[in-house]
Every structure is written in C-alpha cells, then in structure tokens.
Amino acid sequence: MEIALTPILKNLPVDSKIIFTKPTEGLATNIKLAFLSSFIFTTPLIIYEIWSFIKPALYENEIRFSAYIILFGTLLFLTGAAFCFLFVAPVAFKILLNEYTSEIITAFPNISQTIGFLTSLILSFGIIFEYPLVIFLLSKIGFTSADFLSQKRKYAVLICAIISALLTPTTDVISMLFMFIPLLLFYELGILIAKITRN
C-alpha cells in the first residue's frame, strides 16, 4: 500500500492525510490492491500458459513471431505503466491536490478513490504504449500503410488530443500533455514502423 501511494504521499499538502470514511473501506481497498498486484505479477505466467496451449498448432515461424509479439507487448505495457507511476501520477496529484488547497480548503483524499484513480491512469498509459505494436501488426496484415498514416496526420493530432483528454482523468493540461506528446511521437513512430514493415 505504501508503494502504491508513493506518487500521492510525496505531494500531499501540509496537514492533509489519506482517509477512509466507511468501516470496511480500508480492508476492501487492501483486498483490491492485493488482487491487482497478484494479477500484475502473474500476467506473464498466464500469457505463457495460453501461448503454450496454442503453440503446438503453430508453424515454426509463427511460434517465433508470436513469442516476439508477446515479449514486446509486455515490455511496452510495463514501460507505459512505469512512466505513468514515476512521472505522470506525481505531477497529476501535485496539481490536483495543491492547486485547489487554500486556507479554508484542505485536501483529504479518499483511499479507495485514490487507488482507483491511480489504477485507471496507469492502465491508460499502459494501453497507449501498445500503439507501436498495434501499427506493426496492422501493417503486417496490410490493413494500413505509411502513406495512409502520413496523409491522415492532421486528423491524428485531433484524435490524439481527444484521447488524451478522455483517458487522462484529471483537469490539468500538464497531465494531458504527458499523454498527448507520447501519442504524437508514437504516431510518427508508427509511420516509420509501417514503412519498414511494408518494405
């Protein structure tokens, strides 16, 4: 729990504390966090078991290809989650808690809502970081191309801004930019990946 709350604990205003308001809320939040942690740590094993089940039905080249996809997909998700936890979440909590705290208003974040907010933020960034892999797969099957992505760049900027606003559960621009900028970079990277894949 202390590790999970690190992004907010470092940015709590003076005299603020994390609280729970229901008798069972503290216990329920610890159970949810334990379940989430166990799911994260066992996900590689779950993926491996599923892959082992379908492996006998694959050709040799398909086995190598799927293994690379699983490996890079996992690494990209973990990179996005770590990026959010280490850089985005602290900034989001600092702005949300300190910007609106005053002499007459003190922040007392609710434990269950705090963990829920942090979880949704981390999952959003983990999913967003899968974008290069998705573009690679779409290019591989011929569903998209570098020329198509280049022509739709201006629409992509608008869509990236909308996605960033929707997936970032904060009201500040800085947290949105933390998602918006990687999305744009990933789009440009996607064009390069699509060009390499089709050549």
The pLDDT tens digits for 6-15 are 999 988 988 8
pLDDT score at 25 = 92
Question: Between 45 and 30, whose confidence is greater?
Answer: 30
How distant, in Å, are the alpha carbons of 5, 28, 31, 172 from that of 24? 19, 6, 11, 32
Half-sphere exposure of 160 (CA within 13 A, CB side): 21
pLDDT score at 31 = 94
Of the pLDDT bands very low, low, confident and very high (cuts 50, 70, 90), residue 171 is low
Residue 199 has pLDDT above 70, yes or no: no
pLDDT score at 142 = 76
pLDDT score at 132 = 85
- What predicted TM-score, i.e. pTM, was given to this entire model? 0.81
Structure tokens at 59: 């050709």
Q: What is the mean pLDDT of the chain?
A: 85
Cβ atoms of 13 and 104 closer than 8 Å: no
Burial 87-119 (b: 16+ CB within 10 A, else e): ebbbbbbbbbbeeebeeeeebebbbbebbebbe
pLDDT score at 30 = 93
pLDDT score at 58 = 81
Return all residues near 189 (Cβ < 8 A) that are at least 6 apart: 132, 135
Percent of the chain with pLDDT over 90: 17
